[in-house]
């Protein structure tokens, strides 16, 4: 305990606020967003810089708000205080347990970021023609689902994670909502190819959340946060993780076979060795939060490499088309 207190004092309050944002995890939203943008350019040869910038800002704001709201509500529920492990990929940012960041101020900042994200989304909505266009109508639906997910993952009264629905909504938000939303804003339409790619990204982000829940399962259950992973139990949840990753790899391959996306998107298969390593690591260490750290990191790395390969495949598809 003394070591933790000393570490907390060595970090400045400003650094704690930066840590509260958990910005490194933005790769889980920005990369899917870029997949949607590049898929739109590959399919329709369109790119609107203003809509790109506004959409990117909106995605980042929503993600940062999600991070902070989750931490705040977890702290208020006693979840953070029940976490005993030192796995940096689970348990949130842990800035509130230092006692140096005001809980009410933290929530106010989180809600301000959240409202700014909503305002950004409404601006895009009106630029697309509002309810007067199919694109505007669909974007409104995407925005509403996204906003509900941001606040209600652990926020009252829905508390999606507590009901075993959190993993589904996170995968939906960071996959289909982000990828299809980016594609829609640029093209005004949605194609089956974009949906297939969005599913692959959503499944991988869900896998990140899923494996990060293993170290937290005891703390989660102790405060009534019965995630789907906790409900299934660690042993069965290992198989679910493998299923999420395998299905993510199948999506671009199936889409390319159906000629919905360029065949070059199958470059994502080059990341299979990383997936196999992560699966082996989880099977071997799912009961040890500390030993699981490399696999938690490996799942994030797998998602990054998969996304880059997918972006490269789409880029090659543009070059081949030209």
Q: DSSP states of 176-189 as a string?
A: IIHHHHHHHHHHSS
pTM exceeds 0.95 for this model: no
pLDDT digits (tens, 9 = 90+) for 175-208: 999 999 999 999 999 999 999 999 999 999 999 9
Say what the pLDDT of residue 7 is: 47
Say what the pLDDT of residue 82 is: 77
Q: Which domain holds residue 157?
A: 2-321
pLDDT digits (tens, 9 = 90+) for 221-275: 888 889 999 999 999 999 999 999 999 999 999 999 999 999 999 999 999 999 9
Residues with Cβ within 8 Å of residue 315, at least 6 apart in sequence: 38, 42
Share of the chain above pLDDT 70, in %: 96
Say what the pLDDT of residue 6 is: 44
192-212 helix and 27-44 helix, angle to the nearest 10 degrees: 170
Say what the pLDDT of residue 321 is: 67
Q: Give, in degrees to the nearest 5, the angle at Cα 205 between 201 and 210.
A: 140
Share of the chain above pLDDT 90, in %: 80
Chain mean pLDDT for the chain: 92
Number of structural domains in the chain:
1
pLDDT confidence band for 91 (50 / 70 / 90):
low
């Amino acid at each position: 305990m003394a070591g933790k207190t000393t570490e907390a004092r060595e970090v400045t309050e400003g650094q704690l606020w930066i840590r509260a944002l958990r910005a490194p995890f933005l790769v889980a939203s920005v990369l899917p967003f870029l997949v949607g943008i590049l898929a739109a350019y590959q399919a329709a040869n369109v790119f609107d810089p203003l809509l790109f910038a506004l959409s990117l800002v909106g995605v980042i704001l929503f993600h940062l708000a999600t991070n902070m709201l989750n931490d705040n509500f977890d702290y208020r529920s006693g979840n953070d205080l029940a976490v005993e492990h030192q796995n940096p990929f689970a348990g949130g940012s842990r800035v509130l347990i230092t006692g140096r960041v005001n809980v009410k101020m933290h929530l106010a900042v989180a809600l301000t970021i959240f409202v700014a994200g909503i305002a950004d989304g409404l601006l895009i909505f009106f630029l697309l023609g509002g309810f007067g266009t199919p694109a505007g109508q669909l974007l409104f639906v995407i925005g509403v689902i996204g906003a509900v997910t941001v606040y209600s993952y652990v926020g009252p009264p829905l508390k999606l994670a507590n009901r075993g629905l959190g993993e589904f909504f996170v995968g939906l938000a960071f996959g289909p909502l982000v990828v299809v939303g980016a594609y829609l804003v640029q093209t005004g339409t949605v194609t089956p190819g974009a949906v297939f790619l969005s599913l692959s990204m959503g499944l991988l982000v869900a896998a990140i959340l899923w494996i990060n829940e293993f170290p937290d399962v005891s703390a989660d259950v102790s405060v009534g946060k019965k995630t789907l992973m906790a409900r299934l139990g660690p042993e069965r949840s290992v198989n679910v993780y493998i299923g999420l990753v395998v299905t993510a790899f199948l999506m671009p391959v199936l889409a390319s076979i159906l000629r919905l996306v360029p065949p070059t998107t199958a470059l994502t298969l080059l990341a299979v060795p990383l997936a196999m390593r992560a699966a082996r690591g989880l099977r071997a260490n799912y009961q040890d939060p500390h030993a699981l750290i490399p696999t938690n990191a490996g799942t994030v790395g797998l998602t990054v490499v998969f996304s880059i390969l997918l972006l490269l495949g789409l880029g090659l598809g543009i070059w081949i088309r030209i």
